[in-house]
Amino acid sequence: MANKRPTILVVNDDGITAPGIKVLLEEMQKIGEVVVVAPDSPQSGMGHAITIGKPLRLDKVDLYQGVQMYQCSGTPVDCVKLAVHKIFKGQKPDLCVSGINHGLNYSINVLYSGTMSAAVEGAIEGIPSIGFSLDDFSHEADFTHCRPYVRAVAEQVLANGLQKATLLNVNFPNRSKEIKGIKVCRQATAKWFEEFEEREDPYKRPYFWMTGKFKLLDKGEDTDTFAIENGYVSIVPTQFDMTAHHTITELNSWNFNVDEK
């Protein structure tokens, strides 16, 4: 008797018609049974937002032959929650993959990313999860060089599993760089230095347009930024436990006695 093919949930934040999700679902079809649940419009930068106080809509769509697909009116995290509870009905998929995002999600960007938050939600649900991103914001981005690595990483996760409460953040250099291989890295220390350009609408009311520059504050050669800049696919094992465990001992030495007089 043939082994049952794994079930794979495919999500993203760029929307259900984005080129990146088409590439991802095509690669996942080669190794498993695919269900796609994605936002009905772009949701970049939504982070781990969820929809509260208004209804969510989940509609079946027929975009690609042989693929069970749904578009959701909510956020990327909403997509995962609805998939688990309404489509899989609590019978969780074997793998959750998110992306392929148009634009990198390395370093501090992981906190803002809808792509990665969808993968994080998968991990919270106990599903082995991966977020994939490409260093190209263009709608016409070329994902050809990503395909074999996407499949290889997914196959390794299916074969080996992931430790509890962890997931993988995978980033690809753009097509202009020849991929030299894969590097397992740490997240680089970096920051966005924002600027807010003030403008005026036709009614003379001020509004603001956020811009900014990404500044790398890390010279390490073991980081995701270094890997991408040098032509490697970066893989960062990521966790959603945000406890700074290394500071607990120090904080316990502080004097928190309160004088109520």
215-259 pLDDT per residue, tens: 888 899 999 999 999 999 999 999 999 999 999 999 999 999 887
Quick one: pLDDT at residue 238? 97
Residues 209, 180: Cα–Cα separation, whole Å = 38
Quick one: pLDDT at residue 1? 39
Largest Cα span, the chain: 76
Q: Give me the percent of the chain exceeding a pLDDT of 70.
A: 99
Name the H helices within the chain: 19-29, 76-82, 114-124, 147-160, 224-229, 248-252
Q: What is the mean pLDDT of residues 143-169?
A: 97
195 CB contacts (<8 Å, ≥6 apart)?
A: 210, 211, 212
Q: Give me the percent of the chain exceeding a pLDDT of 90.
A: 84
Structural domains of the chain in order of their starting residue, each with its CATH number: 7-187+221-252 (3.40.1210.10)
Question: pLDDT tens-digit profile of 28-55?
Answer: 999 999 999 999 998 888 899 999 999 9
Quick one: pLDDT at residue 28? 97
Quick one: pLDDT at residue 3? 66
Question: Any idea what the Cα angle at residue 108 is, between residues 145 and 189, rounded to 5°?
Answer: 100
Quick one: pLDDT at residue 177? 81
**Please, which pLDDT band fits residue 154 given cuts at 50, 70 and 90?**
very high
Query: Helix 19-29 to helix 147-160 angle, to the nearest 10 degrees?
Result: 50
Neighbours of 234 (CB within 10 A): 28
Residues 93, 101: Cα–Cα separation, whole Å = 21
